Amino acid sequence: MAAGLLLGPLLRQVDWERGDRATVWVEADRPCTAEVRCEDGAGGSSRTFQVAGHHYALVVVTGLTPGSTTPYEVLLDGDRVWPPADPDRRYPASTITAPRPGVDEVRVSFGSCRWAAPPAGGDDPVGPDALDSLATHLARDPGAVRPDVLLLLGDQVYADETSKATRRWLAERRDLREAPGEQVADYEEYTHLYYESWLDPGVRWLLSTVPTCMIFDDHDVIDDWNTSASWVADMRKEGWWRERILSGLMSYWVHQHLGNLSPAELEADPLYAAVRAAPDGTEVLRQFAADADADPATVRWSYRRDFGRTRLVMIDSRAARVLDEQKRAMHDEDEARWLVEQILDDREDCDHLLVGASLPWLLAPMMHDAETWNAALCRGERGDRWARLAERVRRAADLEHWAAFPDSFEQLTRLLAEAGSGPDAPATVCVLSGDVHHAYVAEPEWPKGTVPASARILQLTCSPVHNRIPAVLRGAFRLSWSRAGRWIGHALRRHGRTGPPVVDWRRTGGPWFGNQLMTLTLRGRAAELRLEHAAAGGGAGHRADLRTVHERSLTTKDG
Structural contact between residues 117 and 132, judged by C-beta atoms closer than 8 angstroms: yes
What are residue 427's DSSP bridge partners? Answer: none
What is the per-residue pLDDT for 88? 63
What totals of helices (H) and strands (E) does the chain contain, helices first? 16, 22
What is the per-residue pLDDT for 538? 47
What are residue 68's DSSP bridge partners? Answer: 98
Structural contact between residues 59 and 45, judged by C-beta atoms closer than 8 angstroms: yes
The angle subtended at Cα 413 by Cα 498 and Cα 532, nearest 5°, is 110
Tell me the DSSP string of 273-330. Answer: HHHHHSSS-HHHHHHHHHHHHH-GGG----EEEEETTEEEEEE--STT-B--TTS-BS
Q: How far is residue 268's CA from residue 93's CA, in Å, rounded to a whole number?
A: 33
Q: How far is residue 442's CA from residue 144's CA, in Å, rounded to a whole number?
A: 29
SS3 assignment, position 525: coil
Chain centroid offset of residue 192 CA = 19
Q: How far is residue 66's CA from residue 151's CA, in Å, rounded to a whole number?
A: 22
Closest among 302, 273, 298 to 288, alpha carbons compared: 298
Structural contact between residues 328 and 322, judged by C-beta atoms closer than 8 angstroms: yes
Task: Give the burial class of 165: count Cβ atoms within 10 A of its Cβ; 0-12 exposed, 13-18 middle, 19 or more buried.
Answer: middle
Q: How far is residue 40's CA from residue 74's CA, in Å, rounded to a whole number?
A: 14
Q: How far from 159 is each of 359, 465, 519, CA to CA, in Å?
A: 18, 17, 27
SS3 assignment, position 448: coil
What is the per-residue pLDDT for 470? 86
Q: How far is residue 161's CA from residue 469's CA, in Å, rounded to a whole number?
A: 14
Q: How far is residue 357's CA from residue 460's CA, in Å, rounded to a whole number?
A: 10
Q: How far is residue 128's CA from residue 258's CA, in Å, rounded to a whole number?
A: 29
What is the per-residue pLDDT for 196? 97
Which alpha helices (DSSP H) does 174-281 contain, by range? 187-198, 201-209, 229-236, 241-252, 258-260, 263-268, 270-277
Tell me the DSSP string of 531-542. Answer: EEEEESSSSSTT
What is the per-residue pLDDT for 541? 45
Q: How far is residue 362's CA from residue 444's CA, in Å, rounded to a whole number?
A: 8
What is the per-residue pLDDT for 498? 95
DSSP state letter for 114 = B
The span from the first CA to the last CA of the chain, in angstroms, equals: 59
Rg (CA), the chain: 23
Structural contact between residues 464 and 113, judged by C-beta atoms closer than 8 angstroms: yes
Q: How far is residue 415's CA from residue 262's CA, in Å, rounded to a whole number?
A: 26
The angle subtended at Cα 299 by Cα 296 and Cα 305, nearest 5°, is 125
What is the per-residue pLDDT for 469? 87
The angle subtended at Cα 200 by Cα 359 and Cα 286, nearest 5°, is 60
Closest among 32, 48, 31 to 258, alpha carbons compared: 48
Maximal CA-CA distance, the chain: 71
What is the per-residue pLDDT for 106? 97
Q: Which stretches does DSSP call E strand in 387-535?
A: 428-433, 439-445, 456-461, 504-512, 516-523, 526-535
Give me the tens of pLDDT residue by residue for the chain, a chain 559 residues long: 899 999 999 999 999 999 999 999 999 999 999 999 999 999 999 999 999 999 999 999 999 999 999 999 999 999 999 998 876 678 999 999 999 988 889 999 999 999 998 876 667 889 999 999 999 999 998 888 999 999 999 999 999 999 999 999 999 999 999 999 999 999 999 999 999 999 999 999 999 999 999 999 999 999 999 999 999 999 999 999 999 999 999 999 999 999 999 999 999 999 999 999 999 999 999 999 999 999 999 999 999 999 999 999 999 999 999 999 999 999 999 999 999 999 999 988 999 999 999 999 999 999 999 999 999 999 999 999 999 999 999 999 999 999 999 999 999 999 999 999 988 999 999 999 999 999 999 999 987 766 666 899 999 999 999 998 888 889 999 999 999 999 999 999 999 999 999 999 999 999 999 999 999 999 999 999 999 999 876 444 445 689 999 999 998 754 4
Is the backbone peptide bond immediately before 87 cis, with ω within 30 degrees of 0? no
Q: How far from 397 is each of 161, 404, 461, CA to CA, in Å?
A: 17, 12, 19
Is the backbone peptide bond immediately before 263 cis, with ω within 30 degrees of 0? no
Is the backbone peptide bond immediately before 444 cis, with ω within 30 degrees of 0? no
Task: Give the burial class of 2: count Cβ atoms within 10 A of its Cβ; 0-12 exposed, 13-18 middle, 19 or more buried.
Answer: exposed
Counting every residue written for the chain, the total comes to: 559
Chain centroid offset of residue 473 CA = 23
